[in-house]
């Protein structure tokens, strides 16, 4: 068994708080190996990260799960703002917090990311060779490739909304928001049939999820390609990719796996959101636990 406690740590020049959970196995003593986790594009920890964390804790790991600033339980205004540089700063702050925590072995820390954060962990680990190992589930690795999945018409629509939001930000107005998840034809960041079918099932009953993001992120998304750091990923790296991914395409994951000296690529016959829920969740997380037991 395990126990879960609320935690918080400071991130950024403004001293804002990132908040999250720390899982610790009951039967373990001394400093523990640890996994640090944060969610993908616009999502928060309540959307199934607890399911993964529980499996890792049952396997004997401490698990630090956090929300980025501007999202979920963490501080930061305006709300629902994705700023890549700030999110990377939050990852570095989480890593620093974990390394100084009395329950965690600073030399045995893994990073776990999925989708957008599956790319974040690459940039963080490539610059910090003390990270023991990394897991990237259906990762965002090539910004242009991910943007192209939306199609030209949808990209143009989102670009217009992004420009409008960026202009609002420049003159101090409230953000202009678009949906994070929608169905085919919707004005949203993700509009596949897969997201329409799976996303609502990831939200716990009774949990109020804010399905919006400030649109300005779409000006930066095509330029964010963590695959360029693949050759610097010298630690063991598990990449789990979906062969029918309509959100983060397969090819960049295959390329990154060829470039990274210790990468293991596992491909699954599924779409982007299938790994989060059973039955595929059980297969996906079992491979992650096996990887952590071997390398962490």
Digit-by-digit pLDDT tens for the chain (296 residues) are: 899 999 999 999 999 999 999 999 987 678 999 999 999 999 999 999 999 999 999 999 999 999 999 999 999 999 999 999 999 999 999 999 999 999 999 999 999 999 999 999 999 999 999 999 999 999 999 999 998 888 888 889 999 999 999 999 899 999 999 999 999 999 999 998 999 999 999 999 999 999 999 999 999 999 999 999 999 999 999 999 999 999 999 999 999 999 999 999 999 999 999 999 999 999 999 999 999 999 99
E-state strands within the chain: 2-11, 16-25, 32-38, 62-66, 104-114, 133-137, 177-181, 188-190, 212-214, 237-242, 263-268
CA count, 13 A, side-chain hemisphere, 143? 13
Superfamily of domain 2-150+225-295: Alpha/Beta hydrolase fold, catalytic domain (3.40.50.1820)
Dihedrals phi, psi of 185, to nearest 5 degrees: 90, -15
């Amino acid at each position: 068994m395990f126990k879960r406690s609320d935690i918080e740590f400071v991130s950024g020049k403004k001293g804002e708080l990132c908040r999250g959970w720390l899982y610790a196995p009951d039967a373990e003593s001394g400093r523990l190996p640890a996994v640090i986790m944060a969610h993908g594009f616009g999502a928060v920890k309540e959307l199934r990260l607890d399911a993964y964390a529980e499996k890792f804790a049952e396997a004997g790991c401490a698990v630090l799960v956090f929300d980025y600033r501007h999202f979920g339980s963490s501080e930061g205004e305006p709300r629902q703002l994705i700023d890549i540089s700030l999110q990377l700063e939050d990852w570095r702050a989480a890593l620093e917090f974990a390394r100084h925590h009395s329950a965690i072995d600073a030399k045995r820390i893994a990073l776990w990311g999925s989708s957008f954060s599956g790319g974040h962990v690459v940039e963080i680990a490539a610059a910090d060779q003390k990270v023991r190992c990394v897991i990237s589930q259906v990762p965002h690795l090539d910004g242009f490739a991910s943007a192209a999945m939306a199609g030209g018409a949808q990209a143009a629509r989102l670009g217009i909304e992004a420009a409008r939001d960026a202009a609002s930000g420049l003159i101090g107005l409230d953000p202009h928001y678009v949906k994070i998840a929608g169905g085919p034809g919707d004005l949203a960041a993700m509009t596949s049939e897969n997201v329409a079918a799976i996303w609502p099932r990831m939200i716990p009953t009774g949990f109020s999820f804010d399905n919006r993001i400030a649109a300005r992120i779409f000006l930066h998304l095509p330029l964010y390609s963590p695959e360029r750091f693949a050759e610097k990923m010298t630690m063991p790296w598990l990449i789990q990719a979906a062969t029918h991914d309509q959100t983060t395409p397969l090819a960049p994951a295959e390329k990154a796996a060829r470039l990274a000296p210790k990468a293991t690529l596992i491909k699954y016959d599924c779409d982007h959101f299938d790994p989060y829920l059973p039955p595929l969740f059980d297969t996906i997380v079992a491979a992650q636990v096996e990887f952590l037991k071997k390398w962490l």
